[in-house]
A and B are shown apart, each in its own frame.
Chain A
Amino acid sequence: MAPLASHAYDLLLAGALLWLAWQATHAADLFRSVISFIVFGLLMALAWIRLDAPDIALAEAAIGAGVTGALLLSALGRLTSAPAEKPAATRRWPGTIAVLALAATVLALLGAAAWQLPAPGLGDAVAGHMPRAGVDNPVTGVLLNFRAFDTLLEIGVLLLAVVAIWSLGPTPEPLVPAIPSPALPALGRMLWPMFVLATFYLLWRGTHAPGGAFQAGAVLGAGGILVILAGARPWLTGEDNGPWRWLLSLGVVTMLLAALSTTLIGQRFFEYPESAAAGVILVLEITAAISIAMLLFAAYLNGQPPARWRGYPHS
């Protein structure tokens, strides 16, 4: 792209993002806020592409815009009969100025901290170790080999979130707030195979190109949500000691097993033997993707699913 056009594109994107962020946090109508936020997520995906971060762009499109959007719309549907929230911008200038001053101070401090970050970053270190990582995509290498501990904790946070949601009580009735369009059921059923296909593709791609367990899991989870909106009953049930609980914790359990077995054979925590790294990462990716999909889907149900769905009002 010519430099001028590319600058214009960046400027347009930045302007749109700022405007949508303002709408999302300050529009009088909550529905408008939520839709603005979903579009904000989609445009953020474009910004990630511009910053050479395709892995994040894929995840943002699936998680940021897709799953978060579905969560927000579903919550909005359940809140509509609650008393209307007051418009956000009650214009009290002293308060606004105080908040902005506080925000600017925090921003300046964070900026100063970011300025002092070690300059070249870890790009060289990662590039130097990539031949031993067992995969070709540096981001997957960092996620599941060099810094696998972070990933373990992250799937742990997701599991913890679902445990917290289940502990709040059973899934509210009805399962889906309202069927928004008569075309949705047919479309949802038709699209489901495409979601499965995209999931496998992203998973397979993750070893050598942008993609991987997170994106694949997010796409599968979003597909599950769409199928529920289309009128299907979920398989996922919440009975005690049921098989679904094992599936939800599959990702964390496999990662812990991998980490502990490396210490048993005399390596350090999460230090895979070089020859087995590719296989271990593949297993971790598949189990993590399954778990992430199930966990995101479970989060959408807003509570502990019943032991059986028969007799549960759908919408």
Chain B
Amino acid sequence: MMLYLLLASGLFLIGCHGLFASEGMLRKLLALNVLSSAVFLAFVTIARMSDPLDPVPHAIVLTGLVVTVSTTAVALAIVIRLAAGGSDLSRGRREEDE
């Protein structure tokens, strides 16, 4: 189980670095997703180490997955509109610009 805690730590560092150091909103969003995966992984690994198996973290991580996908969906909708120029007319019409 130690391996999975190390894996969670590694993913956490990669996610943090991506979130703060990379440019581009889409990549920051991917880093945020990796970061939340790392937290879920640590949580479930701790649940696995207790005896008997603790189902509460499992339920909470399921909840967390749905919250993560909600965050991602809203962020992507905003990113698309930022790239399209922001105004109502240019939405979806991909203009050159920023």
User: Which residues of chain A have a CB within 8 Å of any CB of chain B?
Assistant: 7, 10-11, 14, 17-18, 21-22, 24-26, 30, 33-34, 37, 40, 44, 47-48, 50-53, 55-56, 59-60, 63-64, 67-68, 71-72, 74-76, 78-79, 81-83, 85-86, 88-90, 95-96, 99-100, 102-104, 106-107, 110-111, 114, 117, 119-124, 126-127, 138-139, 141-143, 146-147, 150-151, 154-155, 157-158, 160-162, 164-165, 168-174, 214, 292, 296, 299-300, 302-303
Contacts and interface: CB of A to CB of B under 8 A. Distances in A.
Contacts of B3: 7, 10-11, 14
B80 to A, nearest CB: 5
* Nearest 10 interchain pairs by C-beta: A172-B92, A25-B18, A103-B16, A121-B54, A161-B70, A85-B24, A88-B22, A299-B73, A121-B50, A138-B55
Nearest to B16: A103
Contact of A83 (B30, B50, B56, B98): B98
Given A34-B30, A53-B61, A158 B66 contact: yes
Contacts of A26: 14, 18, 22
Nearest to A75: B76
Given A40-B34, A106-B16, A165 B62 contact: no
A68 B65 CA distance: 10
Determine the main DSSP class of B at the interface with A: helix
Contacts of B72: 68, 71-72
Interface residues of B, number: 75
Interface string B1-35: 00110110111111111101111101100110110
7 contacts: A21-B34, A64-B65, A72-B76, A76-B26, A103-B13, A103-B16, A158-B70
A150 B23 contact: no
A157 B74 contact: no
Given A53-B48, A68-B68, A81-B94, 18 more contacts: A14-B10, A24-B18, A25-B22, A25-B30, A26-B18, A30-B24, A47-B41, A56-B44, A56-B62, A59-B66, A89-B21, A114-B42, A119-B50, A139-B55, A158-B67, A164-B77, A168-B78, A173-B92
Contacts of B9: 107, 111
Contacts of B70: 157-158, 160-161, 299
Determine the main DSSP class of A at the interface with B: helix
B50 A120 contact: yes
Q: Which of A34, A68, A146, A155 has the most CB of B within 10 A?
A: A68
A117 B39 CA distance: 15
Contact of B6 (A14, A48, A296): A14
B18 A143 contact: no
Nearest to B83: A82
B26 A75 contact: yes
B3 to A, nearest CB: 5
A79 B26 contact: yes
Nearest to B76: A75
Contacts of B62: 55-56, 59, 139, 143, 214
Contact of B27 (A40, A88, A162): A88
Contacts of A106: 16
